[in-house]
Structure 1
Amino acid sequence: MKEIPQKKSLKLIFLSSWMLLAPLIGSVTLTGLLMSFEAQIANFDLVTWILFCLLSILTIALALTPTTLIAIAMGYFLGWIALPIIIACYQIASLIGYQLAKVVDDGFIATWIADKPKVKLFLEKLHQNETESIILARISPILPFAIMNVVLALARVSLQRFFWAGLVGMLPRTLLSIITGIGLSSLQAYIATGQSPAYQQYILLALLLVSILGFIKIFRSKTTA
């Protein structure tokens, strides 16, 4: 087995730590801001909302904020107007994340997985089933948006399919988040308690099952073929 040079090993540790810690830090920070400035945010003008959206694109792309929290917040403050806005934010953020993954990787991951056949096989199967894999990855409520940007980029899925299949896969989660945001009587109370409506939990469970069963079908069909 080839040893990973120390510089590249540190790079892998940094990227892994970032993907794990950045969303947690970002979520805590965003939650605190939403709770502290709910009244002020409700009075944002058009220019301020544009700046908020631009900032959200950057934080989503860099794995600093979860897409669900952004969508719920925008649904709460803007209602259904938020739907096309958040979809645009998701798509632009996903493209940035896709390109960043390739730039940061620079062939490193490909070299690293050469000695890891299971990881290599996993990425190859994602590549062979691009459209289905992208949709299922986006539908799943437990697969982080930013991490899947990296995984799908490393699986060499085409940019066109990454964009359109990702849009289809994100729609159910986005709609659910917007509906949840619209239905909240108090954003601060929701964030403080962490309690979501029962229907949201059932829908998230259904999306999770669809994602899991879909991936099982893909990998079993290719294995037994």
Structure 2
Amino acid sequence: MNMVAIFLVNSITKRIDGDKFRGYLSDNKNVTSILENIRKEELKFIFFTKLSPILPFALTNFVFALSGAKLKNILLGGFLGMIPRTLLAVWTGSQAKEIRKLLENPNEGNVQKILIIVLIIVSVGGVMYYLLPKKTQI
């Protein structure tokens, strides 16, 4: 379902915006530098963004469409990044009784907490790696 949402948001945004927003952003050197870093490793950046359990899908879909990211990279990165999140959600749903027990006894169920923290750390680390400017060697 998210693949359809990615496609629709991308199509509608590009039709309405027509790259005006990207043209506006290109006037800012810092933003241009960030967008260039993202474009160099676009698929990996999208993957780490979609991996994050705290970034909303709709917002990232919209931002990627505005930034001019390639639709195939958004779809593939979105799909690959959603797999771990989806598996965690399914597993958590199957553990509903355990979650109730966790709510009643907050010191138990550390595996779920650790998995969510790991997803956040990996996602933030990956996003920051591709956002920060790279030093060129001479």
The structure number with the bigger radius of gyration is 1
CA RMSD, Structure 1 to Structure 2 (Å): 2.7
Q: Which runs of 5+ in 1 are unaligned?
A: 1-88
TM-fit CA distance, 1:164: 1.5
1:201–1:101 Cα change, 3 Å: farther
Structure showing greater relative contact order (alpha-carbon pairs closer than 8 Å, 6 or more residues apart): 2
1:97–1:201 Cα change, 3 Å: farther
Q: Does 1:138 align with 2:50?
A: yes
Q: Which amino acid aligns with 1:90?
A: N
Q: Does 1:96 align with 2:8?
A: yes
In structure 2, what is the Cα distance between the partners aligned to 1:107 and 1:90? 23
* Secondary structure of residue in 1 paired with 2:2: helix
CA deviations over 1:117-157 (Å, ceiling 9, x no partner)? 22232222222211111110111112211111122222322
Q: Which residue of 2 aligns with 1:182?
A: 94
Match among 99, 112, 126 for residue 200 of structure 1: 112
Q: Which amino acid aligns with 1:164?
A: L
State percent identity of aligned pairs: 28
Q: Which residue of 1 aligns with 2:29?
A: 117
Q: Does 1:209 align with 2:117?
A: no
Match among 73, 83, 101 for residue 171 of structure 1: 83
1:178–1:123 Cα change, 3 Å: same
**TM-score by structure 1 length?**
0.51
In structure 2, what is the Cα distance between the partners aligned to 1:186 and 1:136? 29
* Secondary structure of residue in 2 paired with 1:177: helix
CA deviations over 1:134-193 (Å, ceiling 9, x no partner)? 110111112211111122222322222221221111101111111112221499x7xxx9
Q: Which residue of 2 aligns with 1:224?
A: 135
1:114–1:217 Cα change, 3 Å: closer
**TM-score by structure 2 length?**
0.79
CA deviations over 1:64-93 (Å, ceiling 9, x no partner)? xxxxxxxxxxxxxxxxxxxxxxxxx12111
1:211–1:117 Cα change, 3 Å: same
* Secondary structure of residue in 1 paired with 2:92: helix
